[in-house]
Amino acid sequence: MRTIAAVFAGLMLASVPSFAAADWAHYSSDEFGFAGLFPVTPTVSTENKKVQVNGSDYVITMHTVVSKGANGSICLAVQTIYTWPIDIEGELAADRDNFVKGVGATVTSSKRTTAARGKGPDLPALLFDASMPTYDWRSLVVIDGQAVYEVAGGVPKGGETADLDRCVKNFALTPRN
C-alpha cells in the first residue's frame, strides 16, 4: 500500500476521459474479494512489485481499481497481498501517513475502527480524512490476514462531498475465490 499515493497523484494530474453518469459503476472481484462503486467504469490493473522490508526483498501483488468522474470525483481501491508478518497498528498508520504524504495532504481526522467480510469477524481498520489545497479525501484501510485493502475517495475543493462517502461506504469485502 505504500505506493498507493503515487497512483492518486498521477490520477489527479492525468487527463482521464470522463463522462457524466447519473449512477456510479459497480465493480467486483471474486479473485481479490472486494466490490465497490466508482464514478465511471473503472480502470483495473494487477501488478507485481518488488519492495524491501527490513532489509529483505519481497514481491507484492497489487490489484488496483480506479476511476475519475466528470465532476473530478476520484474513487480508488487497492488490494495488496503481503508475504511478511504484518504489524497491524503500524501498517494502518503507515498506510495513512504514506497516502497523505504522497498527495501532499494533511490528516484532518483519523479513527481506528473495524470492517467485516460478510458475516465474518471484525477486521482491523482505520478511517481517515485528509485535505490539500485542491482536493479533500476520505479513506478506509482494512487488514484481513496478509491482505491489506485501501479505498479512497477524493473530491475537488468545493465539489460533491457526498461522493467521499459514496466511494468509501460502498466498498465491501466479499468472499474470495
Chain position carrying cell 468545493: 158
Q: What is the pLDDT along the chain (177 residues), one digit of tens a residue?
A: 444 444 444 444 343 333 334 589 999 998 889 999 999 999 999 999 998 888 889 888 899 999 999 999 999 999 998 888 899 999 999 999 999 999 999 999 999 999 998 888 899 999 999 999 999 999 999 999 999 999 999 999 988 899 999 999 999 999 876
Sign of the torsion formed by the C-alpha atoms of 33, 38, 40 and 46: negative
The count of C-alpha atoms lying within 13 angstroms of the C-alpha of 46, restricted to the half-sphere facing its C-beta, is 7
Q: What is the pTM of this model?
A: 0.86
Range(s) of the domain holding residue 127? 4-173
Q: Do 35 and 29 form a contact (C-beta atoms < 8 A)?
A: yes
Domain holding 86: CATH number? 3.40.1000.10
Grid coordinates standing for 39? Answer: 464514478
Total of domains in the chain: 1
